[in-house]
Amino acid sequence: MSSEALELGDDALIAAQRLAEWCASAPELEEDLALANIALDQLGAARLFLSYAGEADGRTEDDLAYLRDDREFRNCLLAELPNGDFAVTMAKLLFLAAAQKLRYDALAAGPDARLAAIAAKTRKETAYHLDHAARWVVRLGDGTAESHRRMQDAVDALWPYTHELGERAAWLALVEPVLAEATLDRPADGWAPAGGRDGVHTEHLSYLLAEMQVVHRAHPGARW
Amino acid sequence: MDDALLTQVEAAESDLRTAAAARLAASTFDEVIAADQKIEPRDAMPEAYRKTLIRQIAQHAHSEIIGMQPEGNWISRAPSLKRKAILLAKVQDEAGHGLYLYAAAETLGVSRADLVDALLDGRQKYSSIFNYPTLTWADVGAIGWLVDGAAIVNQVPLCRCSYGPYARAMIRVCKEESFHQRQGYEILHTLAHGTEAQHAMAQDALDRWWYPSLAMFGPPDADSTHSERSMAWKIKRFSNDELRQRFVDMCVGQAEILGLRIPDDGLRWNEQRGAYDFTAPDYAELMRVIKGDGPCNRQRIEHRRRAHAEGAWVREAAEAYARKHATATVAA
Amino acid sequence: MSGWPLWEVFVRPRRGLAHGHVGSLHAPDAEMALRNARDVYTRRQEGVSIWVVSAAAITASSPDEKDAFFDPAADKVYRHPTFYDVPEGAKHL
């Protein structure tokens, strides 16, 4: 099984599941539509990557999404962390979309033709996600005193989890200018939790999966 | 199943163009209404017409927004990734439809912020149907088939409403909603032809959603307070009971194909009327739910209030940023 | 409560067609309005180009001026090609 496809598929699936939790709860109606669009893009990417990842041993996208336990998921820890407030969600999206964009760009030019075709599609979507998150991080960072405090708190709390995202230098080159424009401090590097790529997750993932998988698992073999 | 309805939407759109092209000398409000032309935002109009429209369009917009909750409740648990994507896109459409409708109401001189306040403090209502809980995955199917089906029957005539912005919003909404009813019907069809447990889940959903769906058309004509004047103003084109009958007649054949039983022992074809006789919904229950005592009224409005309150700092931050940078641009 | 300002949205459906008004939305500033317009009004591939205009920046004719604005054009039938008699046999006119 392509471990790259599985990692990218799981990142996108868990991100979609978290973003969809915002449905009917966004700060304004227009943002509800925007978050749903991003969640739909992530879900679409997840389906493409998981379908490809499962082909080798005859598993479908749903087999992989619904019938694996948390120890078998390969997503980064950042994706599974709870949404928090809107600042946390936008920081998560900024950090994840920057990493996704870099990996998609590399894949699109890579040797695996199937992955390259998927990445050619998803990199355009991710560019939009990155833009959306960056605009919000800038507005919240450079908005009111309260929004600045919340945005800085979010960046500080999530920063350790960004070490797991791969290619650090290129990633920092995408993220640091956004933080600067947002008048936010770039946190110091230090604690660097990891394990997602090996299936050792935070306590949050198993709850997320319990909810996501409950109906599917209650009716083994059923069609939907 | 909605080909016929979509054809009606397109006919309404083409009649709108024909009437617009007629270049009638209509200029007063009454002449425009009589000529089947559209009233536009800055035209002179009776104050009661304006108020009736604001009330109706706002109620319609609120229904779309509150309606996101019962279905949104199942996005996280949708049993396949395909169903999850479809449901998320559908609930997103509802946000979009609420947005189009608030925009139509705003052309009448109210602000969305004021309408949202009126929803949150209970001065304006939304459709009673969304005060019922979604208890199983099959409820998502039942809402698509029955609730969206009833909504479309209600909405298609609104594509011919005399107020231009409302008619145009409804044309857009109806076109986009054509997939909503089909996805619900498809869910129920799959369940009804699946395992025994799935079939039972589908029948249970139909049992619970049938009468609340019939109640969506409002009180019987004899008790309907706003109907007559709205008909004269061509805001409304058919009575509550006419639309309810149309809905029942559509559903009977569709339920047969599903292999599910509509929970009404009184349901039978009436040769004379050329329509089905059916048991009316419990209108006393409808009034109780409208007045606030349905199973989920408190929960739905509390969710909306919380989302609105928790979003306040975000909306303020964006405004503050815009103010700062507008000044900066001018200064530069 | 004030709320974000209102923006009018214009979409070019396909190359070769003019931008047409499709609706409105609320946004804190022009950049966000443009992006919101993309998310709200082009979910089904309805457009290839979007304009947003602050509703406050639009100057509109008022219904009171309708007669003065638009009636004078009514008697200028000579502006339309159908006003003219074309002699029999004349082509390419």
CA nearest to A87, candidates A182, A8, A194: A182
In a domain, C62, yes or no: yes
Structure-token pair, residue B299? 């929960």
pLDDT at B25: 63
CATH of residue C66? 3.10.20.520
What span, in angstroms and rounded, lies between the C-alpha atoms of C64 and C86?
Answer: 40
Q: Which residue of B has its CA nearest to A63?
A: B80
**B residues 223-282 lying closer than 8 A (beta carbon) to A:** none
Kind of pairing between the strands at C6-12 and C49-54: antiparallel
Look up the ipTM and state it.
0.98
Q: Which residue has the higher pLDDT, B105 or B23?
A: B105
In a domain, C93, yes or no: no
User: Which of the four pLDDT bands, split at 50, 70 and 90, describes residue B17?
Assistant: confident
Full residue range of the structural domain in which residue C59 is found: 6-79
Q: In this predicted model, what pLDDT tens digit does every residue of A63-111 receive, in sequence order?
A: 999 999 999 999 999 999 999 999 999 999 999 999 999 999 999 999 9
What span, in angstroms and rounded, lies between the C-alpha atoms of B120 and B304?
Answer: 7
Place of tokens 């709108």: B16
Contact C26 A28 (CB under 8 A): yes
CA nearest to B246, candidates B288, B211, B275, B212: B275
Our CA-based measurement puts residue B231 at a distance from the nearest CA of chain C, in whole angstroms, of 26
Structure-token pair, residue C8? 């009018």
Q: Which segments in chain C show pLDDT lower than 70? A: 1-2
In a domain, C89, yes or no: no
Contact C3 B111 (CB under 8 A): yes
What span, in angstroms and rounded, lies between the C-alpha atoms of A198 and A161?
Answer: 15
C30 interfaces chain A, CB cutoff of 8 Å: no
Residue of A19, A28, A30 to mutate, testing the C interface (most C Cβ within 10 Å of its Cβ)? A30
User: Which of the four pLDDT bands, split at 50, 70 and 90, describes residue B332?
Assistant: very low
Domain count, chain C: 1
pTM of the model: 0.94
| CA count, 13 A, side-chain hemisphere, C69 | 7
In a domain, C32, yes or no: yes
Q: In this predicted model, what pLDDT tens digit does every residue of A14-42 receive, in sequence order?
A: 999 999 999 999 999 999 999 999 999 99
Cβ-count burial of A120 within 10 angstroms (0-12 exposed, 13-18 middle, 19+ buried)?
A: middle
Structure-token pair, residue C68? 């003065």
C4 interfaces chain B, CB cutoff of 8 Å: yes
Domains (ranges, CATH) in chain A?
3-187+196-218 (1.20.1260.10)
Cβ pair B258, B202 in contact under 8 A: yes
In a domain, C84, yes or no: no
pLDDT at B1: 46
Q: In this predicted model, what pLDDT tens digit does every residue of B127-160 receive, in sequence order?
A: 999 999 999 999 999 999 999 999 999 999 999 9
Kind of pairing between the strands at B268-270 and B275-277: antiparallel
In a domain, C27, yes or no: yes
pLDDT at B24: 60
Residue of B106, B314, B315 to mutate, testing the A interface (most A Cβ within 10 Å of its Cβ)? B314
Subunits with 3+ Cβ pairs within 8 Å of B are A, C
In a domain, C35, yes or no: yes
Kind of pairing between the strands at C20-26 and B275-277: unpaired
End-to-end Cα spacing for chain A:
26
B29 interfaces chain C, CB cutoff of 8 Å: no
pLDDT at B23: 63
pLDDT at A1: 56
Place of tokens 């969506």: B216
Subunits with 3+ Cβ pairs within 8 Å of A are B, C
In a domain, C19, yes or no: yes
Q: Where are the alpha helices (DSSP H) in C1-93?
A: 30-41, 66-70
C23 interfaces chain A, CB cutoff of 8 Å: no
Cβ-count burial of C43 within 10 angstroms (0-12 exposed, 13-18 middle, 19+ buried)?
A: middle
Rg over alpha carbons for chain B, rounded to the nearest Å, is: 21
- From chain C, pick out residues whose CB is under 8 angstroms from the CB of A138: none
Contact A34 C39 (CB under 8 A): yes
Strand ranges of the sheet holding C6-12, from the earlier edge strand across to the other edge: C20-26, C6-12, C49-54
